[in-house]
Amino acid sequence: MASLRGASAFVTGGGSGIGRAICVDLAKHGCHVTVADVSDAGARATADLAGPNATPVYCDVASSASQEAAFADHIRRNGGLDIAVLNAGIPERGDLLSAQDDSWRPTLDIDLGAVLDGIRLASQAMAPAGGRREGRQGVLITVASAGGFFSMPFSPVYAAAKAGVVHATRSVAKPLLERNIRICALCPEFVDTPLVAEARAQSGPQSPFYRATAGTLLTADKVAEAAHVLITDPNRVGQCLVLRMTGEWMEAVPPSQTLQYIPRPATSTSPIVPAWREWATQGLAGGRTTRTVMIRRLSNDFRAATRLETRPVPAPGPGQVLLRTVYAGINASDINYTSGKYHASTAAAEAQLPFPSGFEAVSVVAEVGPGVKHPRPGQAVATMVSGSFSDYTLVPARACLDVPGPSPEYVALLTSGLTASIGLQECGRLRKGETVLITAAAGGAGQFAVQLAKLAGCHVIATVGSEDKARLIRSLGADRAVNYRTEDLKAVLRAEYPRGVDVVWESVGGEWFGTCLNALAQKGRLIVIGAMSQYKGPDGWKPMPHRGLPEKVLNKSTTVTGFLLLHYTHEFRRHLALLISLYSAGKLKIILDSPEHVGIKAVPAAVDRLQSGQSSGKVYVRISEDPLPPVGAKL
Ligand SMILES: NC(=O)c1ccc[n+]([C@@H]2O[C@H](COP(=O)([O-])OP(=O)(O)OC[C@H]3O[C@@H](n4cnc5c(N)ncnc54)[C@H](O)[C@@H]3O)[C@@H](O)[C@H]2O)c1
């Protein structure tokens, strides 16, 4: 269906979340939309948003009669039906395994039964009396879920219902096409809607579901974009489109119309849901070797400096633990490390060559050496020691920091989160009501600096390099986002903050340092976190001359402080626990850059991504190419 203008669409569950975004999009493109929902208020609110092309209609999909009446009403008003989006759904109800009754049943009835009924009603409305539809092709979209493909230990009935929707969609694709109706399924991962909010509230902060949905979720608008493509692209038939939280679209089913049933011999004896403990040692099964990204020569060109090498995995000695890396973090300073900048001198760095790269990871303990009581095998830990770009690392047990699980969010809280938390506390000494300027605010550390400054009650100005990043940083609480590609930071500060700013979080360097220094108010504090703009270039990090620095500092009684995280190791445990508790309480968001980089060979590409300035939030690499245990697997 190339154009939606003049077509008519029926959307169940249009009164909220994904359904609402789809209704608004269809109406915007000239489609006459019936917003069918059991919530009158929700349906009306959507119709108000969508404008005159949208009509709210009461419809309880749990009742076949109610859904039939709503379809009939649509056909009366529009003279036919072109598009139906069967979207209404509810989260898991009751607890299947401990319920004494069938309190779980509404989930199956609404999320599967009502969708099957909707397929029946919509296809009969599009091709009356089972005949072939003439003229414009009909389109049916079922809203299933990525949960239709993976097991959801916390929502088994929901997963069963969604798997049913996927399978029904595939099964009817061919017979419906013979009636000139296309059907496809939308299968999003977690989306930021009231449905997820309700399920989170029910499951509580310690649950695997709560943790699985704690990061950056898809937005309903992104799902509506995918729905738009499925509706308008005539080549999509029977497609089950999985929308990843990383932003990727993946096809879950081959677009074949002749699905084959090929049973295979069950040769695998591994458990269905491997626990993390098994996963951590399974990588040792093929021989005790580990791959490590080694620095062979000093250079700020990461690719030129490093080589992937395979070496034996040593057994842990007394007081040591062997870790299997799950996620490793990427930092602007990785290229300072490869150029030897964190050694006492270039000569000292050269003398140590070759040495391993990467300095932060979240891992799972594979083995522990004699005398180690904590951590235990299978436990998730964070480390901030050299060599994290490796399959396995051997570290002292005392270097392991506790984290609730092996998730990339906790990698973000390491160098990035700790730099913001410790740096602002030790050097920023923020007071409520002060004005704070955060540079590179959409970066790994900047995102936390913005949020922590807001939590401290400050007014936050944030510099970013794109409109998307400006939106992102405003969503984290920034009061003023300055897109330096379209606005002049100096002019903004002069016009809008004539008194100056009290604290600057400066990580860009170069000319920016001067601009930020001049912007300080009396007794202002400037924290030098880094000088990212100076790291690159053929000759590496070259010092900048800053004329008049002593005079400027004196004239306004300002302070310029350097902050290097390495000097604050004694604060790591306390601040990491603090950040984790803020995150668990929903007071701190963690933005992860997407798409995810997978496999140790992807480390250089991830370093490039960070250096390109295109990334938003924390850049990280999933080190292992092996599939990870599913969400909720035992630690
Ligand atoms: N939010 C997610 O993470 C996510 C992920 C994958 C799939 N989905 C699916 O997307 C669909 C929409 O979910 P959402 O996240 O937008 O949820 P939502 O709660 O924001 O919206 C669901 C809408 O369905 C309506 N509804 C519920 N029961 C109904 C009934 N019996 N009759 C008619 N309307 C009814 C609600 O009133 C609400 O307006 C659901 O099928 C859901 O399972 C959601």
Q: Which helix (H) or strand (E) holds 25?
A: helix 17-28
The answer to whether the CB of 597 falls within 8 A of the CB of 622 is yes
Residue 484: how many other CB atoms lie within 10 Å: 17
Tell me what pLDDT residue 393 has. Answer: 97
Half-sphere exposure of 250 (CA within 13 A, CB side): 14
Tell me what pLDDT residue 268 has. Answer: 55
**Best probe residue, ligand 1, of 73, 90, 195 (max atoms within 8 Å of C-beta):** 195
Q: Domain 276-404 sits in which CATH superfamily?
A: Medium-chain alcohol dehydrogenases, catalytic domain (3.90.180.10)
Tell me what pLDDT residue 257 has. Answer: 44
Q: State how far the Cα of 107 lies from the Cα of 316, in Å rounded to an integer.
A: 49
Beta-bridged to residue 362, according to DSSP, are 327, 382
**Best probe residue, ligand 1, of 22, 191, 209 (max atoms within 8 Å of C-beta):** 191
Q: Which helix (H) or strand (E) holds 561?
A: strand 559-562
The answer to whether the CB of 302 falls within 8 A of the CB of 293 is no
Residue type, 149: F
- Pocket of ligand 1 contains residue 37 by CB under 6 Å: yes
Q: Read off the DSSP letter of residue 243.
A: E
Q: What are the residue ranges of helices labelled H in 98-193? A: 105-108, 114-126, 156-178
The answer to whether the CB of 437 falls within 8 A of the CB of 516 is yes
- Pocket of ligand 1 contains residue 38 by CB under 6 Å: yes
Residue 304: how many other CB atoms lie within 10 Å: 13
What residue has token string 């959507």? Answer: 46
Tell me what pLDDT residue 528 has. Answer: 95
- CATH 3.40.50.720 domain range(s) in the chain: 8-251, 412-584
- Pocket of ligand 1 contains residue 314 by CB under 6 Å: no
What residue has token string 């509810």? Answer: 90
Residue 7: how many other CB atoms lie within 10 Å: 23
The answer to whether the CB of 48 falls within 8 A of the CB of 20 is no
Supply the residue whose CA is at minimum distance from atom 17 of ligand 1.
Answer: 195
Q: Domain 8-251 sits in which CATH superfamily?
A: NAD(P)-binding Rossmann-like Domain (3.40.50.720)
- CATH 3.90.180.10 domain range(s) in the chain: 276-404
List, as one string, the DSSP characters of 459-481.
EEEEEESSHHHHHHHHHTT-SEE
Supply the residue whose CA is at minimum distance from atom 32 of ligand 1.
Answer: 60
CA distances, 422 to each of 134, 427, 566 (Å)? 67, 8, 11
The answer to whether the CB of 17 falls within 8 A of the CB of 87 is no
> Residues in the chain with pLDDT < 70?
1-2, 130, 253-274, 537, 630-632
Phi and psi at 315, nearest 5°, equal -80, 145
- Pocket of ligand 1 contains residue 59 by CB under 6 Å: yes
Q: State how far the Cα of 555 lies from the Cα of 524, in Å rounded to an integer.
A: 11
What residue has token string 């709560």? Answer: 210
Q: Which helix (H) or strand (E) holds 208?
A: helix 208-212
Phi and psi at 392, nearest 5°, equal -130, 145
The answer to whether the CB of 31 falls within 8 A of the CB of 42 is no
Q: Tell me how far the alpha carbon of residue 89 lies from the centroid of ligand 1, in angstroms.
A: 4
Q: State how far the Cα of 551 lies from the Cα of 410, in Å rounded to an integer.
A: 42
Tell me what pLDDT residue 547 has. Answer: 84
Q: Tell me how far the alpha carbon of residue 428 lies from the centroid of ligand 1, in angstroms.
A: 44
Q: State how far the Cα of 224 lies from the Cα of 22, in Å rounded to an integer.
A: 5
Among the four given CATH numbers 1.10.10.10, 3.40.50.720, 2.40.50.100, 3.40.50.300, the one describing domain 412-584: 3.40.50.720
Q: State how far the Cα of 26 lies from the Cα of 228, in Å rounded to an integer.
A: 8
User: How would you classify the pairing of strands 289-295 and 355-356?
Assistant: antiparallel
With a CB cutoff of 8 Å and minimum separation 6, the contacts of 233 are none
Q: State how far the Cα of 335 lies from the Cα of 246, in Å rounded to an integer.
A: 25
- Pocket of ligand 1 contains residue 42 by CB under 6 Å: yes
The answer to whether the CB of 388 falls within 8 A of the CB of 420 is no
Q: What is the position in ligand 1's atom list of the atom closest to the CA of 21? A: 16
Tokens of 187: 């299968």
Helix axes 114-126, 156-178, angle to 10 degrees: 20
Tell me what pLDDT residue 541 has. Answer: 73
Tokens of 386: 């050299």
- Pocket of ligand 1 contains residue 90 by CB under 6 Å: yes
Q: State how far the Cα of 8 lies from the Cα of 34, in Å rounded to an integer.
A: 8
Q: What is the position in ligand 1's atom list of the atom closest to the CA of 42? A: 39
